[in-house]
Amino acid sequence: MPVDLERRDAVALLTLNQPKALNALSADMLSDLDARLGEVEEDPSLRAVVITGAGDKAFCAGADVKAMSTADALEARAFARQGQGVMSRIENMSRPVVAAVNGFALGGGCELALACDIRMAADGARFGQPEVTLGILPGWGGTQRLARTTSMGFAKDLCMTGRLIDARTAMSVGLVTHIHPADELLDAAMKLAGGMASGPAWAVGEAKAMCNLALSGDHRANLARELDVFSLAFSTHDQAEGMAAFLEKRSPDFAPLDAPSPNPESE
Give me the residue whose beta carbon is nearest to ligand CAA: 107
| Residue 130 in the binding site for ligand CAA (CB under 6 A) | yes
For residue 71, give Cα distances in angstroms to 28, 84, 110, 232: 15, 17, 22, 49
Q: Which helix (H) or strand (E) holds 105?
A: strand 104-106
Residue with smaller CB distance to ligand CAA, 16 or 40: 16
On whether the CB atoms of residues 126 and 166 are closer than 8 A, the answer is yes
**Alpha helix ranges (H) inside the chain:** 27-42, 65-68, 73-92, 108-115, 142-149, 152-161, 167-172, 182-197, 201-213, 219-233, 237-247
- Selected from 14, 49, 61, 209, the binder of ligand CAA by CB under 6 A is 61
Q: Which of residues 63-102 bind ligand CAA (CB under 6 A)?
A: 63-66, 83
- Selected from 4, 9, 17, 21, the binder of ligand CAA by CB under 6 A is 21
Q: Which residues contact 42 (CB under 8 A, 6 or more apart)?
A: none
Whether 131 is catalytic is: yes
Residue with smaller CB distance to ligand CAA, 46 or 63: 63
Q: Which residues contact 248 (CB under 8 A, 6 or more apart)?
A: none
Residue with smaller CB distance to ligand CAA, 126 or 208: 126
Packing angle of the helix pair 152-161, 142-149 (nearest 10 deg):
140
- C-alpha span between 39 and 34 (Å, rounded): 9
Residue with smaller CB distance to ligand CAA, 135 or 260: 135
- C-alpha span between 136 and 101 (Å, rounded): 24
- Selected from 108, 199, 205, 242, the binder of ligand CAA by CB under 6 A is 108
Of 6-14, 43-51, 62-70, 232-240, the window that binds ligand CAA (rule: CB under 6 A) is 62-70
Whether 111 is catalytic is: yes
Phi/psi at 215 (nearest 5 deg)?
A: -90, -5
- C-alpha span between 35 and 258 (Å, rounded): 20
- Selected from 62, 96, 199, 205, the binder of ligand CAA by CB under 6 A is 62
Of 38-46, 59-67, 199-207, 221-229, the window that binds ligand CAA (rule: CB under 6 A) is 59-67
Q: Considering 42, 91, 111, 248, which one is annotated as catalytic?
A: 111
Residue with smaller CB distance to ligand CAA, 140 or 254: 140
SS3 31: helix
Q: How far is the CB of 186 from ligand CAA (least distance, A)?
A: 20
| Residue 173 in the binding site for ligand CAA (CB under 6 A) | no
SS3 135: coil
Q: How far is the CB of 57 from ligand CAA (least distance, A)?
A: 7
| Residue 140 in the binding site for ligand CAA (CB under 6 A) | yes
Residue numbers of the site for ligand CAA (CB under 6 A)? Answer: 21-22, 24, 61-66, 83, 104, 106-108, 111, 130-131, 134, 138-140, 142
Enumerate the active-site residues.
Answer: 111, 131
